[in-house]
Structure 1
């Protein structure tokens, strides 16, 4: 595990963007799984303007997946998919919001930026759609002996949650081989939180872990202390499950 601590916004942003741009997969396609929330937003804004990222988009197919979503109306400020789309559109990047299965049959030489957004509507239907999308991609990755993602970006809440995983039970039922048969093999979980909007959808822990690298973005001393408590086994919040050898922490304190 690598930990970077920065005491200025500029240094933190540069380190985070550099970490993302430095990721290289083993194929013509690059699959990045992005988190929502306020912490990563300025990172994505900087990333969208970065020459290194634009060079990747010009030379490869860069797929943006969204790790978790909220049940909210289309174009709501609460939707992670819409926030990510807004950022890359504002940067003037030419990208397509498409289903993965629509580009799956494209020539191997295709280049560009593709956002795989969660659909709106009832979360049960949205989750079923996104799970089919993920499994279509996973079939290709598994056949190639590759992880599902080249990079997963995670944030952390003040309570230690990450993505749409809020409790130990959320983690437990999302791990393959644990929990009931109803949940153990699901790529997507439905979770709930006391905060509005309460109804959430998230990639399962085993899916988020299927990545060459996990980048955890932290901002603020209180969050940094909470994260370190999980690193040193003083706490066991949902974020702790992802603090593996493949994890890189970039924190601003």
Structure 2
């Protein structure tokens, strides 16, 4: 990364409330181009809401989101053309086969037909779906559905990938294949922003990260700087203020020798 490279994603003052609950509270985030960037936080931290606002899926109450200098909400067509998105709870046209779905998405993204065919074949092979290319997506397992969703996010060769829990429900072998794809994508100049609950995954894969809780960024920057000499798990628990409790109230769970 160099100073001449633009920021891949710039979020300023993002705010979103659902009724009385403030899900995201004036969040600021800058993601450098060409890196693997992790977004971690406890359940309800605001990660999915933040990524939804950053990618044009959910309108913020306040704040701005820019992708490679394009304003996501003022110029959504230009911004979304640069992104590949795997949202939480992805909804797919599951009465199509995997190959048909990639063809459909490629056409929506205005990819030339010859490129759609070649890219689809390569993606299906790389993600271990070649043998199920002509199976209906409705018959895919949860892990297979996650992988075909990732293939859809990649087929138009975006400059930025935004992935919400991309390894959820994916088996270890497939997970390693996805890691290899994301590392190569980043090495070739692409940027990945991914949320995850798994600290070990982020620690082994990401160059930079942000820790989010109660809709705010508690720490962000290069992995080693955020860890501060601790494991990411230890630093995460320190930042979010984890306190073990409730054990005494679960006395009824203890096994009885009687």
Q: TM-score, normalised by structure 2?
A: 0.37
- Name the larger-Rg structure: 2
